[in-house]
Amino acid sequence: MPKITQDTRANILLTTLQLFLEKGYKNVSYQDLVKHTGLSKGAIYHYFESKDALLIAVFEFLLEATKEPENEKPHEIVKDQESFMKLFIAGKTKQIDSFKKLMGNKPLKLNRLLFFFEAISENQQLKQILVELSKHELTILEGYFAGLNMHHAIPKGKDIHLLAESLYWMLQGGEMSVFFLQEDDWEDAIIKMYQKTITDFFKII
C-alpha cells in the first residue's frame, strides 16, 4: 500500500471531484476511484469511511481551494464605485482561476454542474456548508459597502447589510444564468455579468 500522506489525500479529493463532475455522484464507484487514483480501496478508506464522507470532503476541498479572499480593511480600499468594482472583480477572477486550475482547464459544461445540484439537494450537511459560504461572501460585500458608507459614496441612511444581501442574490441569479446558458467562454461571460449587475445595482440605490 502506498504511504498515506496529505498529498495522497489531496489526490483522492481532486480525482474524486473530477469524477463526480464527469459521471455524477451516484455513478462513481470505489472501483472508479481505485482505477483513477492508483490507490487501493483500503488506502481510500483510511481517509474516508464512506462515500458520503468523501462527498462532504470534496465539497469542502473545492470551496476552500476557490474561496474568495477576505480583505483585512476593505473600508480603507473601497471609496467609490470604481474601487468597489475593481476589488470585487479581482477577487472573483482569482476564484475562477483557482477553479479552472483544479479542473485542469477543462471546459465547463452543463452536465458538470448537475453534480452540484444533485448532491446539494440530497445532503443537509452540504446545504449547511453553502450557508456558511454565503455568510462569508456577504461579509465581504458588507465590508465593501461599509467603505462606501464611510466615504459618503452611497445615500445616507442606507442599510449596509440589506444592500449587501440584495446585491448578493442578484449576482447569484446572474451566475446561474451564465452557467446554464453560456457553455463556451463562460469565464468572460460571468465577469461581464458581474460588471453589468454591479453597475445596474448602483443605478438603483
Q: What is the mean pLDDT of each run of 10 residues along the chain (205 residues)?
A: 63 88 84 92 89 89 80 83 96 88 67 70 85 91 95 93 97 86 77 97 94
Cell 456558511: give the residue. 132
By CB atoms closer than 10 A (0-12, 13-18, 19+), residue 143 is buried
Angle, in degrees to the nearest 10, between helices 81-102 and 186-204 = 150
CB 68 within 8 A of CB 137: yes
By CB atoms closer than 10 A (0-12, 13-18, 19+), residue 165 is middle
- What CATH number was assigned to the domain covering residues 6-62? 1.10.10.60
Quick one: CATH architecture of 66-204?
Orthogonal Bundle (1.10)
Q: Characterise 125 by phi-psi region: left (phi > 0), alpha (psi -120 to 50), beta (else).
A: alpha
Give residue-wise pLDDT tens across range 31-69: 999 999 999 999 898 889 888 899 899 988 888 888 877
CA distances from 151 to 8, 75, 154 (A): 49, 9, 8
pLDDT of residue 100: 80
Cα separation, 98 vs 123, in Å, equals 25
Q: Which of 204, 177, 180 lies closest to 192 in space, CA to CA?
A: 177
For residue 72, the 8-state DSSP code is: S
The full set of domain ranges for the chain reads 6-62, 66-204
Cut 0.75: pTM above it: yes
Cα separation, 39 vs 127, in Å, equals 30
